[in-house]
Amino acid sequence: MALVALVMVCAMDGFFIEPNWIEVTHHSMSVPIAQPLKIAHLTDLHTKGIGFRERRLLKLLDEESPDLIVITGDTISSLGSYEQESQLLRRLHAPRGVWLVRGNWENWYTLRNESDFYRVNGVHFLLNRSAELRPDIWLTGINDAAYTPADVARAFANLPANSYRIALFHSPAFFSQSANRYDLAFAGHSHGGQVRVPFWGPLWLPAGVGPYVHGWFASGASRMYVSRGIGTTLLPVRFACRPELAIITLQPMAN
């Protein structure tokens, strides 16, 4: 009876509680920039429209009031969910804009007139290109290299040498082959494992994660943050792995 009760409690937690129990994590870094920048990192939304989890996310974003929102792919759940995605994208706002890159789902279900879709929904779409966020900070978005070739040379072309370089990509294993090209990277894809067995770890991880499951990683002068993401994939379940809204504040270095 005790075992049955434990299984029932775990099932309730995994299917009904944790998937909607978003954790806000806060991080701060001192970097060579002129003014502070507060970044909200979203990934693996897998949204199907405005549900309980999306409403909770929007409320948390309002409370955090970031300067910038970055989305590192897998915002959709299927080919037919782009319209559902737009319901959420239209409600995301930040003074420095909302910036998005593809994940594997966007590559599997590529949308015709993709750039126009994101522009209409108020989102800056970065596909193997860089853009100036402000004079001292540039963003680079790279197509998901785990399943589709990424045009790395094009993505990082013409970056000012004296700027702080932030890279956005979906699969964190790309870090091992690109870390020397930027100062800070954001990635997702792993869902943090989504279902984590105590004393064991993730039950399953997709290709393209490598050793970068969740949290901070460093290689030389480059650092990367891998978020657990917001949504779920394969099954609508999370266990010992709450969804995550990561807030990273970049502070100017003290003179």
The backbone torsions φ and ψ at residue 14, rounded to the nearest 5 degrees and listed phi first, read -70, -35
Q: Token digits for 37?
A: 């920048």
Q: Are strands 244-252 and 137-141 parallel, antiparallel or unpaired?
A: unpaired
Domain chopping of the chain, boundaries:
2-252
- pLDDT of 114 reads 95
Q: Are strands 37-42 and 68-72 parallel, antiparallel or unpaired?
A: parallel
Integer Cα distance of 46 and 25 in angstroms: 20
Calculate the average pLDDT of the chain. 92
Tell me, what DSSP letter sits at residue 54?
H
- pLDDT of 161 reads 84
The answer to whether 248 touches 183, Cβ cutoff 8 Å, is: no
Q: Are strands 37-42 and 244-252 parallel, antiparallel or unpaired?
A: antiparallel
Instruction: Please check the confidence at residue 16 and state whether its pLDDT lies above 50.
Output: yes
- pLDDT of 231 reads 96
Least confident among 23-27, 118-122, 124-128, 203-207:
203-207
Integer Cα distance of 244 and 225 in angstroms: 12
Integer Cα distance of 16 and 235 in angstroms: 12
Fold assignment, 2-252: Purple Acid Phosphatase; chain A, domain 2 (3.60.21)
Average pLDDT over residues 84-98: 97
| Three-point CA angle 31, 35, 40, nearest 5° | 75
Average pLDDT over residues 230-249: 95
Name 200's Cβ contacts closer than 8 Å, sequence gap at least 6.
none
Q: Are strands 196-197 and 201-202 parallel, antiparallel or unpaired?
A: antiparallel
- pLDDT (tens digit, 9 = 90+) per residue, 158-208? 889 889 999 999 999 999 999 999 999 999 999 999 999 988 899 999 999
Whether pTM exceeds 0.85: yes
- pLDDT of 5 reads 53
Question: Amino acid identity of 94?
Answer: A
Q: Is 230 helix (H, G, I), strand (E, B) or coil?
A: coil
Instruction: Please check the confidence at residue 53 and state whether its pLDDT lies above 50.
Output: yes
Confidence of residue 6 (pLDDT cuts 50, 70, 90): very low
Residue 115: in which H helix or E strand, if any? helix 114-120
- pLDDT (tens digit, 9 = 90+) per residue, 136-146? 999 999 999 88
- pLDDT of 3 reads 55
Identify which of 28, 22, 59 has the alpha carbon closest to the alpha carbon of residue 43: 22
